Amino acid sequence: MTDKIIHILLLIVMPPLLLGVINKTKAWFAGRNGPPVLQSYYDIIKLLRKGMVISTTTTWIFIAGPVVTLAAVLLAGMLIPIGSFNSPIAFAGDLILFAYLFGLARFFTTAAAMDTGSPFEGMGSAREVTFACLSEPAMFFAFLVLAKLSGSLTLTHMLHGPAEGFSSAMAAPLILVSIGLFVVLLAETCRIPVDDPNTHLELTMIHEVMVLDHSGPLLGIILYSAAMKMFILGTVLLHIILPFQTRTMWINWPMFIIELLGLAIVIGIVESIMARLRMRHIPGLLIAALLFCGFGFILLVRYNQ
Amino acid sequence: MTDLLNAVLVIILVMNLFALGTSRINAVIRTVAIQGILLGIIPLLIHKHLTIPVAIMIIVAVVIKGTVIPTIMIRALRDAQIKREVEPLIGFLPSIILGAMATAFALLIAGQLPLASQHYGTLLVPTSIATVFVGFILLVTRYKAISQVIGYLVLENGIFIFSMLLVEAMPLIVEMGVMLDLFVGIFVTCIIINHINQAFSSMDTRHLVSLKE
């Protein structure tokens, strides 16, 4: 029971911290002091206390967009196990629900963007769903590999790996899958090689474009659910790249937090040393991620009998 | 040991695709250098006991492929003062897809080959075939002479992986000879690159079809 409460608390409280750590890492690389690590919390609280301006052309979908997104992402967060602990909700086949909760969130974000009637936001929506077409199959291939390795269709068991833990015989497909999932993580959370969260240049925006008309609490909710999405996908990735656990259960919580912050630092480093890809090269990157996950699956089927 | 070997080989496959997909020549050279170092480590994973000839081979392979050849190439690149971008005949995405198809083909065909039974579990054969194919693709689809040298290096890496199958039987002198050939080959090509560059003020091999006084 305590584990479930800690799981939910972490899921709710920790996400904005990741953004703070990423920004701090980027600032450190640029030789700046950077905003405080807790800046994202202040931003979100500030936004939640502000008023909203809602365009008269919009309908209820405009408000439903961010709310449904937050609900879907929160539910997805309940499905994944954190560290060595089981997830609060688990049933056979929940990986499909997990993938399509992200799909639902994306659908409502794009629908809300197009609800404003701005062609600019429609463009952003088109880009978002185009890239999602490529990142979703990559995620499914990754899940296929994990399902085959663990012989289970429940996310909790899949991510914890087989009963005896991941052996080095599985290293080859897992390396491929973790590379693919890392690219998916960067694409889904709009980080630099794919999308720049700071840019406001019309030609290159993807995610930022879609939320231009949202203000006040709605924008706060969008920022918060984006951070939570990063938390969730980061947790999934950590299960694959660092499947180590200690015997003492309570140590696993701080260990998980340190691992996740380490991942945030890695993302910050990637953002600092890489340039943003040109828009027409992004499908290439995502197809590469898809190929990696697909090859992981082929290798597994072919060589790990 | 085979498990760890397979992990290393998969990283080599990933690097192949990375070499096909990046536009910076320096990044490609560095990738191939790291690939060479990984290749040097492979004999360690195959051999049960570390003998002195094997140790010498590992050190020579790592030093030549990991440091000497990349240094020569980066110096040639700097002296020639050309644009630091790869100019592919076909786009980067089609190159990656071709490379991926070659890799898939290699994985399929390696299952059909009549191999010795101890080699069925490892990825040595498919990796070497895939790396040779990727080397071919790099050689054929790039205009600049230096990118073609990189393709040649990748090709050689593939053959090196194949020779790992015979690592127990292959005498040291053969490996050394191959390494020397490779080193001299790259050395000479980098000098030729400089000459091409001086004669045509570009490294584009397409200019070589026209005769000049």
Distance CA A24, CA B113 (A): 53
The secondary structure of residue B85, as a DSSP letter, is: B
Exposure pattern of A211-244 as b/e (b: 16+ CB <10 Å)?
Answer: bbbbebbbbbbbbbbbbbbbbbbbbbbbbbbbee
What is the Cα–Cα distance from B154 to A177, expressed in whole angstroms?
A: 24
> How far are the Cα atoms of A19, A241, B3, B46 from residue A263, in angstroms, in the given order?
11, 10, 26, 33
Residue B191 has pLDDT above 70, yes or no: yes
Q: CB A167 to CB B97 under 8 A?
A: no
The interface pTM score, or ipTM, of the predicted complex is 0.76
In chain A, % of residues over pLDDT 90: 55
Chain B residues closer than 8 Å to A173 by CB: 10
Interacting residues of A133 by C-beta distance below 8 A, sequence separation 6+: none
Domain positions in chain B are 2-205
Residue A228 vs residue A244, higher pLDDT:
A228
d(CA A119, CA B209): 51
Q: How many CB atoms lie within 10 A of CB A287?
A: 20
Q: Where are the domains of chain A?
A: 2-303
B9–chain A Cβ distance below 8 A for any pair: yes
Encode pLDDT of B124-180 as tens digits: 889 999 999 999 999 888 888 788 888 988 998 998 888 888 766 767 777 788 888
Residues A82-97 have a mean pLDDT of 88
Residue B105 pLDDT > 70, yes or no? yes
**For B120, nearest residue in chain A (alpha carbons):** A303
Cα A34 to chain centroid, rounded: 24
- Residue position matching structure tokens 């499914």: A140
CA distance B92 to chain A (A): 8
Task: Give the mean pLDDT of A213-222.
Answer: 92
- Torsions phi, psi for A257 (to 5 deg): -60, -40
Assess B10–A contact: CB distance below 8 Å, yes or no: yes
A224, two tokens = 């918060």
**Does the beta-carbon distance from B14 to A281 stay under 8 Å?**
no
Q: Taking Cα atoms as reference points, which of A212, A165, A175 lies closest to residue A296?
A: A175
Q: What is the pLDDT of residue B1?
A: 60
Contacts of A222 (CB under 8 A, 6+ apart): A66, A69, A109, A211, A214
Residue B182 has pLDDT above 80, yes or no: yes
| Residue B136: DSSP 8-state | H
Contacts of A292 in chain B (CB under 8 A): 14
Please tell me the distance from the alpha carbon of residue B87 to that of residue B100, in angstroms, as a whole number: 20
- CB-CB neighbors (< 8 A) of B121 in chain A: 303
- Cβ-defined contact of A288 to B7 (cutoff 8 Å): no
Query: Phi then psi for B144, rounded to 5 degrees?
Result: -75, 140
Out of A104-113, B145-154, B194-203, pick the least confident. Answer: B194-203
Q: Does B17 touch chain A (CB under 8 A)?
A: yes
Reported pTM: 0.87
- Among the partner-chain residues B7, B21, B123, the one whose CB lies closest to the CB of A288 is B21
Residue B127: list chain A partners with CB under 8 A: none
Interval A49-82: pLDDT, tens: 999 999 888 999 999 999 999 999 999 999 999 8
Residue B49, pLDDT > 90, answer no
Higher per-residue pLDDT: A24 or B145: A24
Chain A CB contacts of B11 under 8 Å are 175
B121 to chain A nearest CA, in Å? 7
